[in-house]
Amino acid sequence: MLDKNFFIENIKTLFYALVIAIIIRSLLIQPFYIPSSSMEPTLLVGDRLFVTKYSYGYSKHSFPFSPPIFKGRIISNKPKRGDIVVFKTPADNRTDYIKRLIGLPGDRVQFIDSNLYINNSEIIKSRISKSDKIYCGKKNINVFTFEELLPNGKKHNTVYLKNYSFQNSDLFIIPEDHYFFLGDNRDCSKDSRFLTSVGYVHKNNLIGKAQFIFFSSDKSIGSIFSFWKWNKSIRFNRFFKKIN
């Protein structure tokens, strides 16, 4: 007959393991899964990545279920333009989004003739490919790929539909303590351009900075349990890839 202490000790072990996991997830690093194509070509559907929670400090959204344990941010660090950031959408303060930080507090952001302007200066983009295909939802679309240079010298790749469907926008003036985010898949991203669903993101909604991909698989080819398809479905070349 098993000793009652055996069950008690196992329950304690599970409890301690749970507490440690919550601490690591809340304060250090958290895994995320990419379910949409809004950040292609940088992030693909099926990428699994690690986000560092300490990069920008902590708010209630750093913890599971966003408990109101304190107000504002503590140990706060300001994000840099060009960072890829996970945040809670202002619309419901529950949904996690991942986008690239484009506009800082006080910036003026606008699209004119499909070109991005920050503080009245056009962001230079150099076309590096005119024959790429990426996903937009479940559709495979033809795009132009550009290398974009932000004012702080940060370079990254973006893609635009060949007909540049997003031509012009209103002028976005970023409020104090807020940030403006865009998807790298510019014509297939719900981001800060859509004020009713995302809009300007308050600093307290920032969760962390995307750092590197630790696993990636293409579910359209087969599930992870279909081991006979691993040579095609698992993207081994993306393992431990640093996110730019």
- 6 exposure class (CB count in 10 Å sphere: 0-12, 13-18, 19+): exposed
Catalytic residue among 53, 60, 99, 203: 99
- Separation of alpha carbons 24 and 124, rounded Å: 40
- Separation of alpha carbons 95 and 81, rounded Å: 22
Active site (annotated) includes residue 38: yes
**Whole-number Cα distances in Å, 169 to 18, 191, 229:** 47, 13, 44
Nearest CA-CA partner of 99 in 37, 55, 144: 37
Q: Extract the tokens encoding 169.
A: 């926008």
Active site (annotated) includes residue 99: yes
Q: Are 172 and 108 in contact (CB under 8 A)?
A: yes
Residues, the chain, total? 244
Catalytic residue among 36, 38, 217, 233: 38
Q: Are 178 and 203 in contact (CB under 8 A)?
A: yes
- Separation of alpha carbons 46 and 34, rounded Å: 6
- Separation of alpha carbons 92 and 94, rounded Å: 5
Question: How many Å is the Cα radius of gyration of the chain?
Answer: 20
Q: Which residues are annotated as catalytic?
A: 38, 99
